[in-house]
Amino acid sequence: MKNILNIKGATKISKTTQSQINGGISPGPGGYDLSKCGCDCAGRVTGPFYCQFSIGCLQVYTCDDAQTS
């Protein structure tokens, strides 16, 4: 733990200061629009780049389940 203070520019902050830090994956107040994310028939994530970090898809083929002959 002491080695981290050897990094140039690193400083130790108090627990109070740490509790005031907010973070997350959201780019702003509106966040990401997860309604643009989805899955294709092969189980791959579709949509904007952030979808691959926000959702997961089952790795199964499901698109032809509704079709019966």
Round to whole Å and give the CA distance between 61 and 39: 10
Cα-Cα-Cα-Cα torsion 69, 45, 58, 55, nearest 10 degrees, comes to -140
* Per-residue pLDDT reduced to its tens digit, 45-56: 999 998 998 889
In this prediction, residue 15 carries a pLDDT of 87
pLDDT in tens, 6-46: 777 777 888 888 878 776 555 666 678 889 999 988 888 99
Domains of the chain, by residue range, sit at: 29-69
Per-residue DSSP letters for 32-69?
Answer: --GGG-EE-TTS-EESSTTHHHH----SS--TTTT---
pTM score of the predicted model: 0.47
